[in-house]
Amino acid sequence: MKKLAIYVEGQTEQIFVAKLIKEIANKNNLTIQLEKMHGGKASPRKAVSIAGISDQNEAQFYVLIRDCGGDSRIKSDIKDNIEKHSKNGFSKVIGLLDVYPMLKDDLKKLIMYSRTGIPTKHIPFSIIYAVMEIEAWFMCQTSHFNKISEELTTEMVEKHLGHSLEPNNIENINNPATVLNDIYQLVGIKYDKKLATVDSVVNKLDYEDIYIDLKESISSLSSLITDVDDFLVT
């Protein structure tokens, strides 16, 4: 069994990544384990299994997706666990983070800093930054707006934003999650980080479009999909 560990900063990223991997793998020969990290200064960090485990007997691929409860925890959680993952037969570890607006222009330096201090002798790992937040990827997948509401058209969204929904424009939005809520509010619908909301939105995305077209124009998404593709090669 091949094993992959992915560390994400929150529930939204965890739900999206799990769905993306299921779609790429076509739901065959795959087990996905969802966990949330707990603890910190007052108590040791530990991983706890949460609802939403996808399981398949004798699966060929196993993916562990850990919600670290914030991007500041991802680097330290990977550092603390990468040797254990190596001993347990994992082939790679991935960290997926958002980019704060003030750090966007220093993305290369940010990636280098994120890798500093994590031992490379155990197994390969990569750090991927979604610019600015993963909700920017949701906005770029424009066909999902009409699934949110038949009244929510691409033209309405672009008029609200004042520019097209091209990835280059979307990745310049400082707070994509807030803007996504503003867009949904045009038709009286709320976007928030609650499980039911995120799950509903993630299930309305077109993953064929994400896999074939969007990855060509969003470098961070392309990096994630490439890592997943490489892992799923037998």
Render pLDDT for 187-216 as a digit per residue (tens, 0 to 9): 999 999 999 999 999 999 999 999 999 999
Q: pLDDT at position 55, please?
A: 55
How is the beta sheet containing 61-67 ordered, strand by strand? Answer: 46-49, 30-38, 61-67, 2-8, 90-98, 125-130
pLDDT by residue (tens digit) across 152-167?
A: 999 999 999 999 999 8
Distance of alpha carbon 129 from alpha carbon 136, whole angstroms: 12
Other CB atoms within a 10 A radius of the CB of residue 148 amount to 17
Q: pLDDT at position 42, please?
A: 77
Is residue 41 packed enough to be buried (19+ CB in 10 Å), middle (13-18) or exposed (0-12)? exposed
Q: pLDDT at position 114, please?
A: 65
- Tell me, yes or no, if the pTM score tops 0.85: yes
* CATH topology (fold) of 2-133+207-231: Rossmann fold (3.40.50)
Mark the ranges of the chain whose per-residue pLDDT is less than 50: 101-103
Phi-psi region of 166 (alpha: psi -120 to 50; beta: other; left: phi over 0): beta
Cβ atoms of 125 and 93 closer than 8 Å? yes
